[in-house]
Chains A and B, each alone.
Chain A
């Protein structure tokens, strides 16, 4: 618990939490939301195409959208760490936060598998994607929806907002 108190007392954490500037906590939240839209959305577009929506679209060139996804993912990793720095006890004392991290790991793993199994398939664009590829796309859609759900519910399920609340036994 000491490290939560320490982290919360650092200059960065205090500034993010207490600054009235829109460039502090609000900007970090905006970045995390816009990043989410591009990460989950780009994944969803690729998944939907693999599942047969807009089947006239050649799949191979869609691979070019993976960098969009990874760039947005990097934005969300950084903004996520900053949100965690601002309120470390809020997330780290909530089991849902660890579930969200697990779901992100699974979703990212699925995106990598999709790229290896579907986009590296020499038969790509010569008919339907393999059943395995379509199952992966369906799993990917569900996982990103679950990540969004877990993230949103973090704001409603925490026990302690501040590490100092834990110390006070509140």
Chain B
């Protein structure tokens, strides 16, 4: 039996728009990949600096690149929602999708932990300064989660019909 959410979403105008032309989906995917690159390039560079790479960079000014990563993330939320609305049946029963969303939630909590604990001390670091171990832990967690998010996202297509059962 089809999930009620799937049926409802498939009848929306947005869903028809996403699946109506064969070129909408690849364009959205391209934007999703550009967004992930911006995110990995800026947030990943910040994480790598905290872990000790390119230590000559002071973290505070480097964090000015992060809004571009956040913009990439916003682009990916929008395109991601459009994928979901376009082909909900591919996601509602897909274990890789739920893993990806769980990783995204953990990445959000990780950002929160960063701002609540070590962010102020990181802001005070100058060129060449070693980040505190707590900041390194947050940075390593961030890198691993974003890599996990990319992996789960890429594996989604292999799990279209394998999942948690009806939800």
A61–B54 touching, CB < 8 Å: yes
Binds A, one of B36-44, B99-107, B114-122, B129-137: B36-44
A38–B62 touching, CB < 8 Å: no
B48 in the interface, Cβ–Cβ < 8 Å? yes
Count, chain A residues at interface, CB 8 A: 39
B62–A57 touching, CB < 8 Å: yes
Binds B, one of A25-33, A82-90, A161-169: A25-33
B54 contact from A43, A54, A62, Cβ within 8 A: A62
Measured between beta carbons, the chain A residues less than 8 angstroms from B147 are 34
A38–B40 touching, CB < 8 Å: yes
B41 contact from A44, A55, A63, Cβ within 8 A: A44
Q: Which residue of B lies closest to A25 (CB)?
A: B158
User: Which interface residue of A29, A64, A145 has the most chain B CB atoms within 10 A?
Assistant: A64
B108 in the interface, Cβ–Cβ < 8 Å? no
Given A54-B64, A152-B30, A155-B26, A42–B41 Cβ distance below 8 Å? yes
A57–B57 touching, CB < 8 Å: yes
Given A38-B44, A57-B58, A148-B30, A29–B154 Cβ distance below 8 Å? yes
User: Which interface residue of B36, B60, B153 has the most chain A CB atoms within 10 A?
Assistant: B36
Contact with A along B23-66 (1 / 0, CB 8 A): 10110011001101111111011001000011111101111110
A61–B26 touching, CB < 8 Å: no
A64 to B127, CA, bound (A): 13
A45 to B43, CA, bound (A): 9
A60–B40 touching, CB < 8 Å: no
B84 in the interface, Cβ–Cβ < 8 Å? no
Quote the shortest CB–CB distance from A82 to chain B (angstroms): 14
Given A37-B36, A38-B40, A65-B48, A45–B57 Cβ distance below 8 Å? no
Measured between beta carbons, the chain A residues less than 8 angstroms from B83 are none
Q: Which residue of B lies closest to A41 (CB)?
A: B41
A37–B150 touching, CB < 8 Å: yes
B68 in the interface, Cβ–Cβ < 8 Å? yes
B5 in the interface, Cβ–Cβ < 8 Å? no
A57 to B57, CA, bound (A): 7
Measured between beta carbons, the chain A residues less than 8 angstroms from B41 are 37-38, 40-45
A53 in the interface, Cβ–Cβ < 8 Å? yes
Quote the shortest CB–CB distance from B88 to chain A (angstroms): 21
A65 to B40, CA, bound (A): 13
Can you add 6 more A-B contacts, CB < 8 Å, to A33-B154, A37-B150, A44-B68? A37-B41, A48-B65, A55-B61, A58-B58, A61-B127, A153-B26
Interface residues of B (CB under 8 A from A): 22-23, 25-26, 29-30, 33-34, 36-42, 44-45, 48, 53-58, 60-65, 68, 127, 146-147, 150-151, 153-155, 158
Interface residues of A (CB under 8 A from B): 22, 26, 29-30, 33-34, 36-38, 40-45, 48-49, 53-58, 60-65, 68, 144-145, 148-149, 151-153, 155-156
Ranked 3 nearest A-B pairs via Cβ = A41-B41, A61-B56, A56-B61
